[in-house]
Amino acid sequence: MTTIPSASAARRRFGLFLAPVVLLLLWLASGAFVPSRLGQRSMQLQGLVTTFLGIFIEALPFLLAGVAASIAIQRWVTSDLLSKIVGRSSIGGAVRGSLLGLLFPVCECGAIPASRRLLRKGAPVPLGIAFALAAPVVNPIVLLSTMVAFDDWRWAAGRVGLTILIAVLVALIVGAGIRRESLLAPAALLPSQGDDEHNGEQHDDHGHVHDSQCRHSPAPANSWRSLLAQGAVEFFEMSQYLILGGLLAATMQTFLPQSLLLNLTAEGSLGLFGPLAGVLVLMAVAVLLSVCSTIDAFLALAFLGLFHPGAVMAFLVFGPMIDIKSTLMLTSTFRKGAIVAMVVLAAQFSLLAGLAVYVLMR
Q: Would you say residue 290 lies in a domain?
A: yes
Higher pLDDT, 259 or 213: 259
* Number of folded domains that form the chain: 1
Residue 356 burial by CB count (10 A; 0-12/13-18/19+): exposed, middle or buried?
middle
Residues of the domain holding 111: 7-26+44-360
Percent of the chain beyond pLDDT 70? 68
DSSP calls for 172-224: HHHHTTS-HHHHB-HHHHSPPSSGGGGTT---TTT-S--SSSS-PPPPGGGHH
pLDDT given at position 157: 95
In contact, 82 and 122? CB cutoff 8 Å: yes
pLDDT per position as a tens digit, 51-86: 788 777 877 777 777 677 777 766 766 666 666 666
Q: What is the DSSP letter of 101?
A: G
For residue 30, the 8-state DSSP code is H
Q: In this model, does residue 294 exceed pLDDT 60?
A: yes
Is the residue at 31 inside a domain? Answer: no
In a domain, 340, yes or no: yes
38 falls within a domain: no
Report the chain's mean pLDDT, rounded to a whole number. 77
2 occurs within a structural domain: no
Residue 122 confidence (pLDDT) above 80: yes
Considering the entire predicted model, what is its pTM?
Answer: 0.72
In a domain, 342, yes or no: yes
**pLDDT digit string (tens) for 146-186?**
998 898 899 999 999 999 999 999 999 999 888 999 999 98
> What pLDDT shows up at residue 141?
83
Secondary structure class of 323 (helix, strand, coil): coil
Most confidently modeled range among 191-195, 217-221, 356-360: 356-360
Asked if residue 71 is part of any domain, the answer here is yes
> Does 33 map to a domain?
no
At residue 217 the predicted structure's pLDDT band, cuts being 50, 70 and 90, is very low
> How many CB atoms within 10 Å of residue 256?
12
pLDDT in tens, 246-293: 777 777 667 766 665 556 554 444 555 678 888 998 999 888 888 888
CA separation, residue 139 to residues 230, 235, 292 (Å): 25, 22, 13
